[in-house]
Amino acid sequence: MKPLVAGNWKMHKGPKATSEFFERFRTPCQTDEVTLLVFPPILSLTAARKAVDKGGIQVELGVQHIHSEVEGAYTGETSAEMAAEAGASYALVGHSERRQLFGESDADTRVRVAAALRAGLVPLLCVGETLEDRQAGRLEAVLRRQLDAVVAFPELGESLARSETPLVLAYEPVWAIGTGETATPEDASAAHGLLRESLRAAFGDQRSRSIPILYGGSVKPGNSRELLSSPDVDGVLVGGASLDPRSFAEIAGSAC
Ligand code: 13P
């Protein structure tokens, strides 16, 4: 499977800083070696699209958050269709910051994955346990609950079981996000193995192996190569280290 290296900029970089990033970004990889993807803030999506198109840069763009409806009286929200029109091809769903700071539930992730698919976006579903969950031995139960809320839901699950329906997962242990604390490659592989097993149970062996599982949580140029070469790790989702064009390029370089 072609590795996927994604950068989640969170609430960093307005349109100007976004254009500047892409002016300075040089990918060290060939297009067929790795898929690169950036999630700028929604307000900077158009600037990102313009910069990427103008520079002929091989980077996919995504949106960090979508509402489930196509349009309506939902102040402050953006639909998947609007993000697609502005140049996104991926949508992040269920990031732990959305779950923890904005109260998103498993049911919310389900409707947002469905909305992304409706608009032709690839949903990138994030799952991961808190330190408390891990210490209490609830890793497997939490991952299974977050994943099953989406893949085991009747109509949506049937759609996701088909190989032509796109889906990407990211395992992001909450205790490793923005803390400098990285899961060891063994921790990451173990959690990815659990996710792969749940996918296998839901969709069968062949389909389960076609769904990329990314690792996220303090990925840096110094640890990306080892993480990317770990079993069942198909890519990385990078926060802080994706904000600098050189460090993001270095991480990309460790995948090709
Ligand atoms: P950091 O790489 O800054 O830990 O963030 C990870 C993350 O949340 C990516 O979505």
Question: 236: domain CATH number?
Answer: 3.20.20.70
Q: Rg of the chain over CA atoms, in angstroms?
A: 17
Q: What's the pLDDT score for residue 181?
A: 83
Q: What's the pLDDT score for residue 217?
A: 96
Q: Which of 196, 256, 206 is nearest to 228 (CA)?
A: 256
User: How many Å apart are CA 118 and CA 31, to the nearest integer?
Assistant: 27
Q: What's the pLDDT score for residue 180?
A: 83
Q: What's the pLDDT score for residue 236?
A: 98
Residues contacting ligand 1 via CB (< 6 Å): 8, 95, 172, 177-178, 216-219, 237-241
Residues belonging to the active site = 95, 172
Q: What's the pLDDT score for residue 38?
A: 98
CB 6, CB 214: distance < 8 Å:
yes
> In the chain, what is the straight-line distance between the N-terminal and C-terminal CA atoms, in Å?
12
Q: What's the pLDDT score for residue 107?
A: 97
Range of the domain at 56: 4-253
| Cα 38 to ligand 1 centroid, rounded to whole Å | 13
Q: What's the pLDDT score for residue 91?
A: 98
Task: Report the number of distinct structural domains present in the chain.
Answer: 1
Q: Which residues of the chain have pLDDT under 50?
A: none
Q: What's the pLDDT score for residue 199?
A: 97
The answer to whether the predicted template modeling score (pTM) of the entire model surpasses 0.85 is yes
Nearest CA to ligand 1 atom 1: 239
Strands 90-93 and 4-8: unpaired
